[in-house]
Amino acid sequence: MSYNLLKGKRGLIFGALDENSIAWKTAERAHEEGATFVLTNAPVALRMGTIKTLAEKTNSEVIPADATNVEDLQDLIEKSQEILGGKLDFVLHSIGMSINVRKGKHYTDQNYNWTQKGLDVSALSFHKLMQTLYKKDAMNEWGSIVALTYMAAQRVFPDYNDMADNKAYLESVARSFGYFFGKDKKVRVNTISQSPTPTSAGQGVKGFTGFMNYAEKMSPLGNATALECADYTLTLFSDFTKKVTLQNLYHDGGFSNMGVSQEIVEAMED
């Protein structure tokens, strides 16, 4: 069902890799709700994924860009405004990567070159993106910038490794830069802390299936899906959330406020 929630709005969506991606689902739903947008991902990710299919489906153009490279971001934002015919109304940052996780390095035995690369891709890229948007005055007033995060930024999830630190940094950047974007440009900046979701990135975390099942049993409403996250993201892009900014918004079926659930207690008694 379409509500024309984003009719006439222009945007930029980072991180759609395949149809499991939250960014992919967000692009599909934004298109259904009347938005036009540019899709972008790192050149290597474009080769690995199937983003051209999404571009055709949503009548969008794809611009390769390395989100850690300021020149790439400047070029991307200029080209996006040319393609879309004006300033942007929404931006989704859906980027995260840990080489330590990928290569099976324990948190207590990090390769710090990999740690720095992961921080740059997962968190510092958000500051670089917003700084570029800010300096170029590329956002319309009452525009919305959203980044995806996870509750490991606040609490211990041992196998989430250095991504937990990356997400903590990401959330801090959202608040700190969000202040200036709000005060100077009337643009809102928020993060969505999503349930564990079986995306290509999420499934790379050790013990993911067990943790998904645990979160499902802990959450009164169950885990939020990628499509449900896309729908929630759209509400933040819409005009109905104009005064929501500097927030880390939990979209997790209630998991973040739980201590223990009846199902977990019963499972432990067996």
Active site residue 134: no
Residue among 3, 107, 112, 150 flagged as catalytic: 150
The answer to whether 79 is a known ligand-binding residue is no
The answer to whether 167 is a known ligand-binding residue is yes
The answer to whether 21 is a known ligand-binding residue is yes
Active site residue 160: yes
Using CA atoms, how far residue 172 sits from 67, 82, 246, in Å, is 18, 31, 9
Q: At 50, give phi and psi (nearest 5°).
A: -125, 40
Report the 10 Å Cβ neighbour count for 105: 17
84, 10 in Cβ contact below 8 A? yes
100, 117 in Cβ contact below 8 A? no
Q: Long-range pairs for 260-263 at CB < 8 Å and ≥24 separation?
A: 260/218, 261/217, 261/218, 261/219, 261/220, 263/217, 263/218
Name residues whose C-beta falls within 8 Å of residue 254's C-beta, 6 or more positions apart in sequence. Answer: 219, 220, 221
The answer to whether 99 is a known ligand-binding residue is no
Residue among 160, 169, 179, 232 flagged as catalytic: 160
Which residues are tagged catalytic? Answer: 150, 160
Residue numbers in the known binding site for NAD(+) are 15, 21-22, 95, 167
Residue numbers in the known binding site are 15, 21-22, 95, 167
